[in-house]
């Protein structure tokens, strides 16, 4: 006997039997076999049999076959089930004897679901759904006697009073009985976050890892640009995951993301992805022109914010709830309608099938609204917990946490003007020229490269901040450290393809990182291609992992 579920549904007309069967098909992939289709096929009625006729024919079939006819009609479909299919749903059975025949045939594979409601509710539902003038009276098709109903109720593995539940509630209760719901201990989500002030090189790392994952999730907003190098040059992703062009993974934009619609649609077009692959949560917040204008005259000039409007949109979502000027959500934008899809539902589908998920965080730990140096912070929590909340992912789903740090932390340049405003502090600030000369790099090349992805502003730079790094470890508990820009320690690292080829000082630096983090440095970025010749050999990551996205949790 195959190990597929056989779900038989009983209950009076309008209790929700067909709706439940359809939900099981749509959500979990069950095959649905209806008693009506079996009768139409056996009697060669070509689907034209009316309800009263089919009820009478079913009664005759019960008498002639000892109620075996419906089981015999289901068996051929059951034998066709593939290994990946969960089972078959029978809509519906109408007698205790039919149920007995199913139990004899399918034994422990069988689950009997009985749905019921009050007669007044059933009549009301019937009147609402059967509005045609030639529809039979409910009394003409109400063939289940009170005794039959009580007998079916008594036998049922699950019985549900549908007057108090909708179709979603009913589905959850039946799915629980069938053990279809994903257990909380299943861990298949890896999270990648920045460990400093942003611009750690997260995009390139995500692009490198992307092909291992089934689902890529992005949170944040257009204020963060993630740059990726490939054979065609540089690509900057502001709202899509950085691995979009480097895999065939499903792409999810979580409910906590803030979206610039025009820029997002342009990015979608450049990436050549369609609605069959990209899903935007209906709850995502939309940035409008007023949000951008308000930041232009505010935080952009005081703390050198990107002025994308992301923070203003989030503030307005809180401040203006229920007011006419509350922000629009993704579900309110016609252009986004083809891409709408619940992130939670798509993630649940991924968990159910054991698919691997990569969540790409935004900016860096020290820019967190709550854990950074206020007011030199962004508009959200940028640590793992905040990213998970924005995506709609439980912490218990997390398998790996990758924290990206660069050898020399950066901040964006101070705001323009002479008002004395700054973008934030660096412990021991230096210059890219000093760093380049110390490492043996061309200072002009380094200075030219160090501009922000979103606003193209120059960056400030400092020497590595060990206490800030440890605080980021405390906040994120990384399982793996990703180190980038090791060529800023020594130009010779640009040619390293294996760990032992790194300079001795770099190896010592990595060893100390591991001691402070109490986690391995698993990925090392040796350089970021800048000139045309750099793109001929894109090997820039030393991979020291002892795991992949497919590896089980240890």
Average pLDDT, the chain: 89
99 vs 50 pLDDT, higher one: 99
60 vs 326 pLDDT, higher one: 326
Give the Å distances, CA to CA, from 312 to 172, 197, 300, 509. Answer: 38, 20, 12, 40
HSE value, Cβ hemisphere, 13 Å, CA-based, for 49: 21
Taking the C-alpha atoms of residue 199 and residue 382, their distance in angstroms, rounded to an integer, is 13
Final residue belonging to a domain, choices 177, 212, 244: 177
Question: What pLDDT does residue 470 have?
Answer: 98
pLDDT of 367 strictly over 70: yes
Is 467 within the bounds of a domain? yes
Looking at the fold, whether 212 and 250 belong to one and the same domain comes out as yes
- Average pLDDT on 163-192 reads 94
Q: Assign 229 a pLDDT band (cuts: 50, 70, 90).
A: confident
Is 312 within the bounds of a domain? yes
Q: Which of 297-311, 406-420, 471-485 has the highest mean pLDDT?
A: 471-485
Looking at the fold, whether 160 and 225 belong to one and the same domain comes out as no
Final residue belonging to a domain, choices 122, 157, 177: 177
Final residue belonging to a domain, choices 113, 146, 177: 177
Is 19 within the bounds of a domain? yes
- Residue 17: closest CA among 124, 106, 117: 117
Reduced to 3 states, what is the DSSP secondary structure of residue 237? strand
Give the Å distances, CA to CA, from 196 to 305, 368, 384, 470, 479. Answer: 16, 10, 13, 10, 17
The answer to whether 427 and 465 have CB atoms below 8 angstroms apart is yes
The answer to whether 183 and 31 have CB atoms below 8 angstroms apart is no
Looking at the fold, whether 339 and 226 belong to one and the same domain comes out as yes
Q: E strands along 41-154, which residues?
A: 87-93, 110-116
Q: How many domains does the chain have?
A: 2
Looking at the fold, whether 112 and 244 belong to one and the same domain comes out as no
Joined tokens for residue 422: 């700054």
Looking at the fold, whether 279 and 159 belong to one and the same domain comes out as no
Q: Assign 57 a pLDDT band (cuts: 50, 70, 90).
A: confident
Question: What pLDDT does residue 29 have?
Answer: 95
What DSSP character marks residue 327? Answer: P
pLDDT of 228 strictly over 90: no
- Average pLDDT on 288-311 reads 75
Q: Read off the pLDDT of residues 349-365 as tens digits, 9 standing for 90 and up.
A: 999 999 999 999 999 99
pLDDT of 223 strictly over 80: no
Instruction: Tell me the percentage of the chain whose pLDDT exceeds 70.
Output: 90
Is 549 within the bounds of a domain? no
Give the Å distances, CA to CA, from 516 to 382, 468, 486, 500. Answer: 21, 11, 18, 21
Q: Rg (Cα) of the chain, in Å, rounded?
A: 30
pLDDT of 133 strictly over 80: no
Residue-wise DSSP of 408-429: S-EEEPPPSSSS---S---TTE
Cis before residue 393, ω within 30 degrees of 0? no
- Average pLDDT on 455-471 reads 91
Taking the C-alpha atoms of residue 159 and residue 170, their distance in angstroms, rounded to an integer, is 10
This prediction has a pTM of: 0.89
Phi, psi (degrees; rounded to nearest 5) at 66: 60, 40
- Residue 201: closest CA among 360, 427, 376, 401: 360
* Bridge partners (DSSP) listed for residue 113: 9, 158
* CA-CA-CA-CA dihedral for 240, 473, 379, 446, to nearest 10: -60
188 vs 538 pLDDT, higher one: 188
Is 550 within the bounds of a domain? no
- Residue 422: closest CA among 494, 373, 366, 493: 373
Q: Which of 122-126, 365-369, 451-455 has the highest mean pLDDT?
A: 365-369
Q: Assign 50 a pLDDT band (cuts: 50, 70, 90).
A: low
Looking at the fold, whether 434 and 517 belong to one and the same domain comes out as yes
CATH number of the domain at 329, please.
3.40.440.10
Reduced to 3 states, what is the DSSP secondary structure of residue 99? helix
Residues 6+ positions from 57 with CB-CB distance below 8 Å = 39, 43, 49
What DSSP character marks residue 185? Answer: T
CA 46 to chain centre: 44
Looking at the fold, whether 289 and 152 belong to one and the same domain comes out as no
Is 524 within the bounds of a domain? yes
Looking at the fold, whether 230 and 150 belong to one and the same domain comes out as no
* Bridge partners (DSSP) listed for residue 115: 160
HSE value, Cβ hemisphere, 13 Å, CA-based, for 146: 2
CATH number of the domain at 151, please.
3.40.50.300
Give the Å distances, CA to CA, from 30 to 169, 181, 194, 429. Answer: 18, 14, 42, 61
Instruction: Tell me the percentage of the chain whose pLDDT exceeds 90.
Output: 66
Is 553 within the bounds of a domain? no
Question: What pLDDT does residue 77 have?
Answer: 92
Is 163 within the bounds of a domain? yes
Q: Assign 264 a pLDDT band (cuts: 50, 70, 90).
A: very high
Looking at the fold, whether 94 and 172 belong to one and the same domain comes out as yes
Looking at the fold, whether 273 and 331 belong to one and the same domain comes out as yes
Question: What pLDDT does residue 453 have?
Answer: 63
Q: Which of 2-11, 128-137, 281-290, 510-519 has the highest mean pLDDT?
A: 510-519
Phi, psi (degrees; rounded to nearest 5) at 189: -110, 125
Taking the C-alpha atoms of residue 286 and residue 255, their distance in angstroms, rounded to an integer, is 11
Taking the C-alpha atoms of residue 329 and residue 284, their distance in angstroms, rounded to an integer, is 5
Taking the C-alpha atoms of residue 369 and residue 365, their distance in angstroms, rounded to an integer, is 9
Joined tokens for residue 201: 């090189």
Looking at the fold, whether 200 and 147 belong to one and the same domain comes out as no
Residue-wise DSSP of 271-314: HT--TTTEEE-TTPEEP-HHHHHHHHTTHHHHS-----SHHHHH
Q: Read off the pLDDT of residues 12-38 as tens digits, 9 standing for 90 and up.
A: 989 999 999 999 999 999 999 998 888
Domain residues for 74?
Answer: 5-177
Looking at the fold, whether 228 and 376 belong to one and the same domain comes out as yes
- Average pLDDT on 289-314 reads 76
64 vs 255 pLDDT, higher one: 255
pLDDT of 49 strictly over 70: no
Place of tokens 């594979």: 109
Q: Read off the pLDDT of residues 266-290 as tens digits, 9 standing for 90 and up.
A: 999 999 999 999 999 999 999 998 8
Taking the C-alpha atoms of residue 103 and residue 112, their distance in angstroms, rounded to an integer, is 9
Reduced to 3 states, what is the DSSP secondary structure of residue 462? strand
């Amino acid at each position: 006997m195959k190990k597929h579920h056989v779900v038989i549904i009983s209950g009076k007309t309008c209790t929700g039997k067909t709706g439940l069967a359809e939900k099981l098909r749509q959500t979990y992939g069950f095959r649905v076999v209806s008693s009506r289709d079996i009768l139409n096929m056996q009697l060669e009625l070509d689907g034209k049999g009316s309800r009263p006729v089919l009820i009478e024919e079913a009664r005759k079939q019960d008498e002639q076959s000892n109620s075996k006819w419906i089981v015999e009609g289901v068996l051929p479909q059951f034998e066709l089930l593939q290994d990946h299919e969960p089972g078959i749903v029978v809509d519906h059975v109408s007698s205790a004897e039919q149920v007995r025949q199913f139990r004899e045939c399918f034994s422990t594979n069988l689950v009997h679901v009985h749905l019921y409601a009050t007669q007044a509710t059933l009549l009301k539902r019937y009147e609402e759904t059967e509005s045609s003038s030639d529809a039979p009276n409910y009394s003409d098709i109400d063939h289940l006697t009170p005794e039959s109903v009580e007998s079916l109720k008594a036998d049922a593995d699950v019985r549900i009073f549908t007057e108090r539940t909708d179709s979603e509630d009913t589905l959850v209760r039946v799915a629980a009985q069938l053990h279809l719901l994903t257990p909380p201990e299943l861990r298949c989500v890896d999270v990648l976050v920045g460990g400093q002030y942003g611009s750690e090189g997260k995009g390139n790392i995500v692009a490198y890892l992307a092909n291992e994952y089934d689902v890529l999730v992005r949170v944040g907003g257009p204020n963060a640009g993630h740059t990726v190098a490939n054979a065609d040059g540089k690509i900057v992703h502001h709202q899509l995951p950085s691995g979009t062009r480097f895999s065939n993974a499903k792409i999810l934009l979580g409910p906590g993301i803030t979206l610039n619609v025009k820029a997002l649609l342009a990015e979608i077009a450049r990436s050549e992805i369609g609605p069959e692959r990209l899903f935007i949560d209906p709850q995502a917040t939309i940035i409008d022109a007023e949000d951008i204008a308000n930041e232009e005259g505010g935080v952009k000039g005081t703390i050198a914010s990107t002025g994308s409007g992301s923070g203003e949109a989030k503030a307005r979502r809180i401040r203006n709830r229920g007011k006419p000027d509350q922000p629009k959500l993704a579900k309110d934008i016609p252009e986004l309608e083809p891409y709408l899809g619940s992130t939670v539902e798509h993630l649940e589908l991924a968990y159910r099938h054991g698919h691997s998920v990569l969540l790409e965080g935004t900016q860096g730990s020290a820019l967190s609204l709550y854990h950074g140096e206020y007011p030199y912070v962004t508009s959200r929590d940028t640590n793992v917990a905040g990213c998970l909340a924005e995506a709609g992912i439980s912490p218990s789903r997390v398998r790996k946490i990758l924290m990206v740090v660069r050898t020399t932390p950066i901040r964006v340049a101070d705001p323009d003007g002479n008002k004395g405003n700054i973008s934030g502090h660096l412990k021991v600030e230096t210059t890219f020229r000093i760093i380049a000369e110390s490492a043996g790099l061309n200072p002009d090349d380094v200075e030219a490269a160090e501009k922000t992805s979103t606003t193209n502003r120059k960056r400030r730079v400092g020497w590595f901040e060990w206490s800030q790094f440890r605080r980021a470890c405390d906040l994120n508990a990384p399982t793996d450290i990703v180190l980038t820009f090791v060529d800023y320690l020594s130009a010779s690292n640009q040619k390293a393809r294996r760990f032992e080829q790194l300079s001795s000082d770099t190896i010592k630096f990595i060893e100390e990182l591991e001691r402070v983090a109490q986690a391995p440095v698993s990925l090392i970025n040796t350089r970021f291609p800048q000139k045309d010749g750099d793109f001929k050999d894109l090997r820039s990551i030393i991979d020291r992992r002892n795991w992949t996205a497919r590896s089980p949790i240890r």
